[in-house]
Amino acid sequence: MFEFQILAKDPRSKARRGLFSTPHGQIETPIFMPVGTLGSVKGLAPEELEKAHAQIILANTYHLYLRPGHELIARMGGLHRWINWPYPILTDSGGFQVFSLGAGSKKGGNKVKISDEGVEFKSHLDGSRHYLTPEKTVEIEHALGADIIMALDECAPHDSDKNYARQAMERTHRWAEKCQKRHLELEKDKNLPLHPAQALFPIIQGTVYDDLRIESAQFIKNLDTPGIAIGGLSVGEERAVMNHVLEILEPHYPANKPRYLMGVGTPLDLLEGIERGIDMFDCVHATRIARHGCFYNATGRHHIANEKFATDPLPLAPEDPQNPTTKFSRSYIRHLVKENEMLGIRLLSINNLYFLLKLMEETRLSISSGNFIDFKELTLKNFHDIT
């Protein structure tokens, strides 16, 4: 289980095509993973995700822990059964949300308190106080039952000074060791409900400092887990900085393990990451911009509220007749969005996820044929809005 096969490598870049086996199916890489924060990719039913060729989705440990609680989900048979998704699932550790949301409710609260033992925070829902340790994180993720689970990490701000960046990185390493130890204990515990095997991915940190990033990559590599993740990028730093970090990290990854770049999902960032050896990506971007009226097609990112679309009979992505939204015109979808009809946002969301998943499918083919760089350049040539 959790075998990763490298099927092809691009001769002019670090791009590679692979196949990662999990208890709920195989994942073709490079892959974009739609985010279902609360156990649902916003606005889409499972069958719509299937039709868009989603192979794996994400759920958020922080949010599901707070409500409805991992114990309830476990009693309902685990996350796969509860949300009616029979394919692979990844749960993050909740660490990013703890640090970004854990200062308290909307009415305010104390700041997050961090120690080597764990992190104390307040729920953004009701201000209730919680304490999350590496061990508890793994226990929650085991109860949820995802195929891939993430180790708890501290995502230091990208503009942290080097001293704090090192402290956060070293704490992340200690937490990763604790997560791995508890994960192995739970897998051997015969008194617990039997779940399919789970793959623990620890996370490389170090913000924007080359030596810290390399040190972190080497530490994480030595844990010898089924895969690794890269965190603390796409959090405010310039795109060129992120690409530089990925370039200096690439020689230090384990060669035969999947590499997951967390929280990245624009078309340009996907292609840039793949060129630098990344296999897996996730981001809320595609559905979030849909809720703001934006859609992707081969010519870029567009806003449906633009007046030119009022009488436009074309579908959102006319270049792709297989896109599920093809039967609807831009004019009609614009009308739906202007009138706050839910169907409009749903159609934009379906289109955007389909576009990104189709982009990944075409990327895999280009790697196998040895012309990924040409494919990337052609794809971006007419893409007028690369954000």
Task: Label the pairing between strands 129-132 and 148-150.
Answer: unpaired
User: Is-catalytic flag, 211?
Assistant: no
Burial track 22-37 (b if 16+ CB lie within 10 A, e otherwise): bebeebbbbbbbbbbb
Token look-up 């990559």 returns 217
Catalytic residue from among 126, 211, 282, 385 = 282
Q: What is the dihedral of CA 308, 336, 355, 280, to 10 degrees?
A: 130
Note if 282 is an active site residue: yes
Options 92, 147, 153, 279, the catalytic residue: 92
Tracing tokens 């609807």 back to the chain, one arrives at 328
The backbone torsions φ and ψ at residue 384, rounded to the nearest 5 degrees and listed phi first, read -75, -20
Q: How many whole angstroms separate alpha carbon 86 and alpha carbon 47? A: 11
Region for 232 from its dihedrals, namely left if φ exceeds 0, alpha if ψ lies in -120 to 50, beta otherwise:
left
Identify the residue whose tokens are 């960032």: 269
Residue 216 CA to residue 271 CA, distance in Å, equals 24
Q: What are the residue numbers of the active site? A: 92, 282
